[in-house]
A and B are shown apart, each in its own frame.
Chain A
Amino acid sequence: MLETFFTGAVLAVIGIYCVVVKKNLLKKLIGLGVFTNCIHLLFISIGYRNGGMAPIVTPENMGFIASYAVDPIPQALVLTSIVIQLSVTALGLSIAILAFRHNKTLDTDKMNKIRG
């Protein structure tokens, strides 16, 4: 379980680096997606149990699945969160298309028109 936490930390750093440092609009959106997926990974790995199995109920193990299955609640919450991230990404891509139409470039250095 420690491996997933280290992977999550590395992904979070990569995601935030892309959002902050890169100058292309599309690369910022990709970095946002990487950061959100890191949070999903951490959320699922919180519900892990050593030597556990997937929480699917079959006729053989109906009586005692709760004692050795991993926690299914974070998995349901992460499914909801993936859908939310999908719609935010779709909206961000539409706004990037509109920004390209106005400025003919995807570079944020040339797009800073608001001052003050």
Chain B
Amino acid sequence: MDVIVRTVVKGIFPFVLLLGFSIIFHGHLTPGGSFPGGAVVASGFALVVVAFGVGKAEKLISERTVHIMESAVALMMALLILYESFLRKYVGLTGQMFNIWSSPEVLSLNVAGGVMVLSALILIVFLMVNE
């Protein structure tokens, strides 16, 4: 890709990541949550793949790391859901409005779901490019 695209992607990539993670973190206060946040972060990586090729993207985050991240987050999400359904009657944490650290359950589910969505989408991009 030529100079203009490479320069713009180099400048814009950290802000795309920041926007994505902000949408994930504020999922219990503003619209968004795990799905749109994960999709925005993964599209940032797709921009790097398009502008620089797969080699540069592999240096940022390798395919093996994405596999491990996805499996670990899936396990964590399963444990969270088991905790919610069984132990909630005994150990319950209530939340207050407008406070970002108020309800840890919704926050942790949003973060886990967001990481799972972004790792799945990055995996799809890598698998399609590697033919």
> A: which residues have CB within 8 A of B?
56-59, 62, 75, 79-80, 82-83, 86, 90, 93-94, 97
Q: Judging by beta carbons under 8 Å apart, are B35 and A83 in contact?
A: yes
Task: Give the top 6 A-B pairs by smallest Cβ distance, nearest first.
Answer: A83-B35, A90-B124, A59-B98, A56-B30, A79-B35, A97-B128
Label chain B's interface by main secondary structure.
Answer: loop
Please give, as numbers and ranges, the residues of chain B lying within 8 Å of A75 by CB-CB distance: 31
> B: which residues have CB within 8 A of A?
30-31, 33, 35-36, 39, 97-98, 124, 128, 131
- Tally of A-B residue pairs with Cβ under 8 A? 23
Q: Judging by beta carbons under 8 Å apart, are A94 and B98 in contact?
A: no
Q: How far is the CB of B103 from chain A (nearest CB, A)?
A: 15
Label chain A's interface by main secondary structure.
Answer: helix
If A56-B30, A93-B128, A97-B128 touch, whether A79 touches B98 (CB-CB below 8 Å) is no
Q: Once the chains are docked, how many angstroms separate the CA of A78 from the CA of B128?
A: 27
